[in-house]
Structures are given as C-alpha cells and as structure tokens.
C-alpha cells in the first residue's frame, strides 16, 4: 500500500509540473524585454530580435480562434502602447521558419494570427487600445527559431 501511495504522489507532482506549462502566463517578465510607445513613435517600425517558440501548444490552451503554434510560458515581449485617434497599430514577425503571433490585449482578450505574409504572421489593430500588449511568438513543432518582431503604425510587412 505504501508503494502505491508513493507512486500516486510522484504522479501528482509530475501532473502539477505539466499543468504549469499548459497556458501562457502574462504575469511573468517578458523574455526579450518591453517598450513604452506613444502614437507617432519614431523610429517606425520599432524592431526587436527574438527567438520564437516554446513548450505550450497555443491551440490546446484554448486562447481563441486562430491561436496556433508552440509558445513560451512568459511573454516574448511587452508593449505598453498609448493610442491616438485614427492611428492603427501593426505587430508582425519576420523569420525564415513558420511563425505565429499570440497577443494578450489590454482588455485581457487574445488575438492571434498565422501566415498573413507567406509564413509570417501579422496582427493589425485599426483602433488599438491604450495599455499593455503581451506578445508571444510561436513556432510549429518543438523547435525554436530566430526572428524579428516589428511594431509599426505605418508598415504592414
């Protein structure tokens, strides 16, 4: 009986560890930093070198329609954006491998994209909100890949 309890306890520890990486956690510090941008920012686009990918299956995390790829638990990048009327916001990734975008918006909702420009994702906000955007860049499969995250008000790739 003691052996069964020990096995059950070990299984519970493994299950708890697995659960810890089943969803992104935007409370964590972003891996590649962050920036505060005000509408009209220069230079435009603002670019950041990143490494896309991670252990979390965005589709299995049930974040919303079109949320695909494998992402990290922590955001890759955090944007604190101050909007202006009639100024759009575009967030996109360029990489040599197939990447995806998963973004937690200031209101807590998720928006995602895959393959807008070839294998590169793009999310456009015609009327963006002021606040924090937690940005995750995913890949297909477990591999990671280098890329460039771009934030722009005028460029859409």
User: Domains of the chain (ranges plus CATH)?
Assistant: 23-152 (2.60.120)
Give the CA dihedral 111, 39, 77, 68, nearest 10 degrees: 20
Task: Tell me the C-alpha distance between 141 and 111, whole Å.
Answer: 21
Q: Whole-model pTM?
A: 0.86
pLDDT score, position 22: 85
Task: State how far the Cα of 53 lies from the Cα of 149, in Å rounded to an integer.
Answer: 13
- Residue 12: the pLDDT is 39
Determine the Cα–Cα distance for residues 67 and 33; give it in Å rounded to an integer.
Answer: 22
Residue 14: the pLDDT is 40
User: In angstroms, rounded to a whole number, what is the distance separating the alpha carbons of residues 77 and 30?
Assistant: 5
The CA distance from 71 to 108, in Å, is 18
How far lies 122's CA from each of 16, 91, 116, in Å?
34, 6, 6
Token pair belonging to 55? 């252990």
pLDDT of residue 21: 65
Choose between 141 and 148: higher pLDDT.
Answer: 148
For residue 7, the 8-state DSSP code is H
Nearest to residue 155, comparing CAs of 12, 6, 46?
A: 46
Summarised one tens digit per residue, pLDDT across range 74-106 is: 999 999 999 999 999 999 999 999 999 999 999
132-153 burial, b for 16+ CB within 10 Å, e for fewer? bbbbbbbbbeeebbebebbbbb
Distance, in Å, from the CA atom of 156 to the CA atom of 117, rounded to the nearest integer, reads 9
Mean pLDDT of 134-139: 98
Confidence of residue 15 (pLDDT cuts 50, 70, 90): very low
């Amino acid at each position: 009986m003691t052996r069964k309890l020990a096995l059950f306890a070990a299984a519970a520890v493994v299950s708890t560890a697995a659960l810890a990486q089943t969803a992104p956690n935007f409370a964590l510090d972003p891996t590649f930093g962050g920036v505060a941008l005000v509408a009209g920012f220069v230079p435009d686009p603002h670019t950041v070198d990143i490494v896309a990918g991670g252990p979390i299956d965005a589709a299995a995390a049930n974040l919303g329609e079109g949320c695909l790829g494998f992402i990290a638990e922590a955001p890759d990048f955090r944007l604190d954006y101050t909007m202006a009327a009639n100024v759009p916001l575009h967030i996109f990734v360029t990489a040599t491998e197939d990447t995806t975008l998963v973004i937690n918006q200031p209101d807590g909702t998720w928006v995602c994209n895959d393959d807008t420009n070839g294998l590169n994702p793009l999310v456009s906000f015609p009327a963006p909100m002021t606040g924090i955007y937690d940005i995750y860049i995913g890949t297909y499969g477990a591999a990671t890949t280098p890329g460039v995250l771009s934030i722009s008000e005028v460029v859409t790739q």
